[in-house]
Amino acid sequence: MAAAAPLERPCEGTAVAAPASAPLERLYEGTAPGRGVAAAGWRLCLAHRFEEPRQPYGAGDVSFRDVLRHIGLGLRYFRWWYKKTRIEKKSAFIDLLCAVPLQQIYGCPLGGIGGGTITRGWRGEFCRWQLNPGIYHYGTVIADQFTVCLRCKGQTVYQQVLSIEKPNTLQGWNWGYCGHYAFYHALYPRAWMVYELPGQNVVLTCRQVSPVIPHDYKDSSLPVGVFIWEVENGRDEDVDVSIMFSMQNGMGAKQDKSGGHWNEPFTLEKDGERVAGVLLHHCTRVNPFTLAISAREKAGTGVTHLKAFNPAGLGREVWQDLLHDGRLESPPGKSKLTEKGELTAAAVCASCTVPARGHRTLEMALAWDMPCIHFGSREKLHLRRYTRFFGSGGDAAPALSHYALTHYKEWERKIEAWQNPILENSQLPSWYKSALFNELYFVTDGGTIWVELPPDCCDEDLRGQAAAGMSHLLPVLREYGRFAYLEGQEYRMYNTYDVHFYASFALVMLWPKLQISLQYDIAVTVMNEDVQLRQYLMCGQTAQVKLKNVVPHDIGDPGDEPWQRVNAYLMHDTADWKDLNLKFVLQVYRDYYLTQDSMYLQDMWPVCQAVMESELKFDTDNDGLIENGGFADQTYDAWVVNGASAYCGGLWLAAVCMMCKMAEVLGDAKIQQKYMDILNKGKEAFERKLWNGKYYNYDSSGSDASNSIMSDQCAGQWFLGACGLDQGEFEVFPKSHIVSALRTIFEKNVMSFAGGTMGAVNGMRPSGQPDTSSVQSNEVWVGVVYALAATMIQEGLVEEGFRTAEGCYRTVWEQLGMAFQTPEAYREKKVYRSLAYMRPLSIWSMQLALERRASQAPASTEPIQEALLEPAPPFPHCSGL
């Protein structure tokens, strides 16, 4: 048996020590490369520990000046929070008083889009659960494990839980696997764990696959994950190998003990393929679900099971059962229902003989079936997307398991066909390949839901809009369903639109129909109003929840009834925000440009005109340029802007330009002329009011900080460039000004901040000090940095772009241990804000910029310089990688 050992030093065993390489791998003592592990990705040794302790931004981190500035907000927020959480007993859409503590443990989530997700940690634990839509439960369930049993000549020679934990339940199991002999490698939507079994001459590689496949609207919706165990036998004798997959009925929450849960074994044979496992029926009143653990039976592979055991006990009966013959007892029939206070778990075991010096594969799956969902208000029943393929009766788990185990090879072929051209591009640095794919986790693990359009909704709520000109609204929503993801796991608002603006590149490039569907939903809300009055927390004024003809901030809180009640955000009255309407127009043209969907363009055109009409009132001096209102009236919602501004003014000019272009495409000469006139005037005003010879000033207010250098000052150009509208007759900003501004940002916001190693600070004073005039100006926003990097690449500053983005990747993934929970923001020291956030999906705009350059320029063979931040290649001693 493998002995347990402390984490800090190598455990028992005789492996040759690897040379110290990158910091995340330096504790690795193994030599095995594993089987089929991707070369690029995020890799670390299971014994790794992240050293830098960071804290969520809290009241204690606010300067005295900011305390004074926000005292009213603080009091109003506290009053609102108290009523919500203590009186109404609901959870707050942003809980500033109980932030989720940082756990540096997460790895690739399991599951497709919108069916819920289960995240495994990089040490293999099942630790983050989003089965109830948009609501996260954080907690490692100890019983959820893989255990290996090796037998030679009819004797068990090794049995080990593949976990470095030493928990105080299930103590009859052999825990404490030595982390120095295993590594984790993530390249979303796949991940690998390679375990050398000390002293056994056997190597296990577990490959975890989720069905996240670009341009696929069926399999990508499935709530399943597959684990392919590759077993390599380095011995000169055959070895019988069993992998046991155990799972608790539930997600480790208090409902697991609510009673009435039960388990039952199942087998399903279809098209000559047989799958066997156990169903764990989790019978809660709201959102009941069934978990299924299973394995594929095939010639030479036997599957056995244990339908129920107590995960809170010692677990000896399970351990001994497996130890005895490498199989489980496999009793037939259903388990009894759990009593209140009682937990239950089950296990499935796949076994085969691996010949001497040979290799075999065991295939296992986890599926979860929660077909019908209620949000917090419980007003409407929603059916998840996958129910159109697998039914909504709650009995789909066997079919889902069978489908996953018989289709994962096809998924992997498609994933490789998509990823390989990028992975094989030797010009791209390896950190970028990891960042690009791994940041994509948020498309599934952003509290994401993908549901069918409710039949009553189309008749009652949408008919008016369809009649109002959106002829493809119903066909699109019926065909592709409704998609929503949270602003962040801690900022619980769906489709926060000012942020989605950045993230939308991932969606439109990979699942364009979901972006189009999301836009239709926004278009519907533009036309609607909510006349209810409420007090806004930032400045205390009372106003309507939603006005007509403006884009909402978000489409609602999963704790309430999203789509039905929009604008969960009540910090500001966003009817007066300057960026939301513009971001709609910019996305409409960008989507059209990338998809060439002219129906969509036609349907969105009246909505674009309506929101631009609303926006025109912000041009208070009629100079063709909008003015900000002297409060934080845009995505930087705690950073005040006054007068003309680089950010909103730039977005405005880009949107006006796109209005001209759309009018031209649609043959609307009158509107085209109207916006041409505004554009010509506005361009002149923008240059006159904001250009200072080197960059565009933050705003034209003339305040102390108005000449700050904003990292996001070229956001308008970012979108223009992404749509090919950045040259010739469409040049909105003089090329030389954009390049000069980007160079200044690189010099000041990037290289003069944290030694150039942490990305770009939002605001920098010309003197080279971060702008501390607000609580957000001295933050780094990861999603903004990736967008800035894309803009740099578009403008030919390729090395600078990569250097800029690299700082964020290395800070988040390598330094702070925030893998698969990239935050919205961090400061140079000590704090971060809002874990697992939507905006960093903007990294896909870097990819778009690169693809665009590649299609234009003659091919270069020069690799992009890996900046000084690049560590040695992972595991250089493993030549097989």
| Positions that interact with ligand LE2IUY4E (CB under 6 A) | 59, 62, 66-67, 70-71, 73-74, 94, 96, 487, 491, 496, 498-499, 569, 571, 635, 637-638, 775, 824
591 Cβ neighbours under 8 A, 6+ residues apart: 508, 512, 515, 516, 519, 597, 600
The least distance separating ligand LE2IUY4E from the CB of residue 498, rounded to whole angstroms, comes to: 5
Q: How far is the CB of 831 from ligand LE2IUY4E (least distance, A)?
A: 10
Q: What share of the chain is helix, strand, coil (3-state, %, to 5)?
A: 35, 20, 45
Give whole-number Cα distances, 396 to 268, 290, 320, 364, 371, in Å.
Answer: 11, 9, 32, 17, 9
User: Measured from the CB of residue 637, what is the shortest distance to ligand LE2IUY4E in angstroms?
Assistant: 5
* Token duo for residue 332: 């037939």
Overall residue count recorded for the chain in this entry: 881
> If DSSP codes are grouped into helix, strand and coil, which group holds residue 98?
coil
Provide, rounded to whole angstroms, the least separation between the CB of residue 380 and ligand LE2IUY4E: 24
CB of 71 to ligand LE2IUY4E, least distance (A): 5
Q: What's the closest the beta carbon of residue 177 comes to ligand LE2IUY4E, in angstroms?
A: 40
The strand pair at 825-826 and 224-233 is best described as: unpaired
SS3 808: helix
| Tokens at 140, concatenated | 């490692």
Q: Residue 180 or residue 500: which is nearer to ligand LE2IUY4E going by CB?
A: 500
Relative to beta strand 273-282, strand 262-270 is: antiparallel
Nearest to 625 by CA among 584, 677, 575: 677
E strand or H helix that includes residue 275: strand 273-282
Nearer to ligand LE2IUY4E among residue 71 and residue 872 (C-beta): 71
Instruction: Find the shortest distance in angstroms from Cβ 837 to ligand LE2IUY4E.
Output: 8
Nearer to ligand LE2IUY4E, 160 or 778 (CB): 778
Q: Residue 274 CB: number of other CB atoms within 10 A?
A: 17
Nearer to ligand LE2IUY4E by Cβ, of 66 and 799: the residue is: 66
CA–CA dist 254, 342 (Å, integer): 11
**What is the closest distance, in whole angstroms, from the C-beta atom of residue 787 to ligand LE2IUY4E in the complex?**
13
Rounded to a whole number of angstroms, the minimum distance from the CB of residue 577 to ligand LE2IUY4E is 9
| Residue 338 or 777 having the CB closest to ligand LE2IUY4E | 777
Preceding omega of 766 cis (within 30 degrees of 0): no
CB 293 within 8 A of CB 277: yes
Report CA-CA distances (Å) from 126 to 139, 141, 146, 366, 438: 8, 6, 11, 11, 18
Least Å distance, CB 634 to ligand LE2IUY4E, is: 8
Nearest to 456 by CA among 372, 562, 381: 381
For residues 741 and 643, what is the distance between their CA atoms, to the nearest angstrom? 20
Using alpha carbons, select from 864, 40, 44 the residue that is nearest to residue 430: 40
Nearest approach, Cβ of 571 to ligand LE2IUY4E (angstroms)?
Answer: 5
Structure tokens given for 799? 């090395």
Residue nearest to ligand LE2IUY4E (CB): 74
3-state helix/strand/coil string of 440-487? CHHHHHCCCEEECCCHHHHHHCCHHHHHCCCCCHHHHHHHHCEEECEC
CA contacts within 13 A on the Cβ side of 68: 3
Taking the complex as a whole, the smallest distance from the CB of residue 842 to ligand LE2IUY4E amounts, in Å, to 13
In sequence order, the 6+-apart residues with CB closer than 8 A to the CB of 115 are: 221, 222, 223, 368, 370, 384, 385, 386, 450
